[in-house]
Structure 1
C-alpha cells in the first residue's frame, strides 16, 4: 500500500475498530492469476492480537486454491470521494479522500464445526438489529445440510497490517469547512460519511 507519512494510521485500536466497522472486504489471492472476491470478514480478539474469518462458495474460482498456509490479502474500505479543487480558497489540485486497511494473512481452513460457529456469529452480527431477526438456529435443518457442503470457511492469521486515512491533513480550517460542506451537499451516504471522517480527523465533529 502506498502511504504518505502524514496519512499513516498505526494505532491498534483504530485498526481493530475500522475492520469491525467495515467488515465487507475484498479478498485477494494468487491463483493461476490474481483473483478477488468481495465477502464479509469478521474480526475477533483484541487490538493487539486478533484473527479474522470468512468463507467462500466452492463454486468460486478461488476455492480450488485454498489451502493451509496460503497467503492472501484482505482490503477493508472506508468512505471515499472526489474532492474538487474548486472547493478551495486558492487554486490547488483536485484529489480523492479515502481510508482503508490492508491485512496480509495466512489462511487455515476451518473444520465443519468451526464453519458452523463462524456462520452463527456472522448471522448474529447482522441480524441482531433487524425487526424480526432470523438466526442460524432458526434455519431449517435440511436447508443448512444442503448448503454447508457448498461453502468453505477459513481463519485468517494477520502477518502484516497497513492502514491509511487520507482526510485532508495539513489543510487550513476554511478549506476543510468548504470540503466537508460540499461533500454534505451531495446528499449521498458515502459523501456524508466521508465528511464525518474528515471532521473527526481534525477534531471538529462536534
Structure 2
C-alpha cells in the first residue's frame, strides 16, 4: 500500500473498526496467475489480537490454491469519490479521496465444525438488523448439509496490516466545506458517506 505520511492510519482501533464496518473485501492470492474474489470477511478477537475468516465456493478458481500457510491479501475499502479542482477557492489539482485497509495474511483451512460456526456468526451479523431475520438455525438442516460440501472455510492469520484515509488533510475550512457540500449535492450513498468521513477527519484535528 502506498501510504503518504499525512494519510497513514496505523491506530489498531481504527484498523479493526474499519474492517468491521466494511466487511465486503477483495481476497487476492497467487495461483498460476493473480486471482481475486469479493467476499464477506469477519473478525474474531479484539483490536490488538484478532484473526479474520471467510469462505469461498469450491467451484471458484481460487479454491484449488487454498492450503495452510498460503499467503493472501485482503483489501477492505471505504467510501471514495472524485474531487474536482473546480471546488477549491484557488486552482489546484483534481484528485480522488478514499480510505482502505490492506491485510497480508496466512491461511488455515477450517474444519467442518469451524466452518459451521463461522457461517452461523456470518448469518447472525447480517440478519440481526433485518425486519424478519432468518438465522442459521432456522435454515433446513438438509439445505445446510448440501451447501457445506460446496464451500471451503478458512482462517486468515494477520501478518501485516496497513491503513490509509486520504480525506483532504491539510486543506482549510473553506475548501473542506466546499468539497463536502459538492459531494452531498451529488446525492449518492458513497459520496455522502465520504463527505461524513472528511468532516470527521477535520473535526477531530
Which interval holds the TM-score relative to the shorter structure? Answer: over 0.9
1:26 aligns with 2:26: yes
Indicate the residue corresponding to 2:136 in structure 1: 136
Helix, strand or coil at the partner of 2:61: coil
Indicate the residue corresponding to 1:94 in structure 2: 94
Q: Measure, in 2, the Cα distance between the counterparts of 1:118 and 1:3.
A: 32
Helix, strand or coil at the partner of 2:143: helix
1:51 aligns with 2:44: no
Q: Which runs of 5+ in 2 are unaligned?
A: none
Following superposition, the deviation at residue 105 of structure 1 comes to 0.1
1:8 aligns with 2:8: yes
Q: Measure, in 2, the Cα distance between the counterparts of 1:141 and 1:67.
A: 28
Indicate the residue corresponding to 2:117 in structure 1: 117
What whole-Å deviation, never above 9, does each CA across 1:98-123 have from its counterpart, x for those lacking one? 00000000000000000000000000
Q: Measure, in 1, the Cα distance between the counterparts of 2:14 and 2:56.
A: 27
Q: Measure, in 1, the Cα distance between the counterparts of 2:40 and 2:149.
A: 19
> What does 1:56-95 correspond to in 2, within 5 Å?
56-95=56-95
What whole-Å deviation, never above 9, does each CA across 1:12-33 have from its counterpart, x for those lacking one? 0000000000000000000000
> How many pairs align?
204
RMSD value, Cα: 0.6
Indicate the residue corresponding to 1:168 in structure 2: 168
Q: Measure, in 2, the Cα distance between the counterparts of 1:35 and 1:178.
A: 40
Consecutive aligned runs of 4 or more in structure 1 exceeding 2 Å deviation: none
Q: Measure, in 2, the Cα distance between the counterparts of 1:13 and 1:50.
A: 12
What whole-Å deviation, never above 9, does each CA across 1:18-49 have from its counterpart, x for those lacking one? 00000000000000000000000001211111
Following superposition, the deviation at residue 145 of structure 1 comes to 1.0
Q: Measure, in 1, the Cα distance between the counterparts of 2:44 and 2:6.
A: 29
Indicate the residue corresponding to 2:184 in structure 1: 184
Q: TM-score, normalised by structure 2?
A: 0.99
Q: TM-score, normalised by structure 1?
A: 0.98
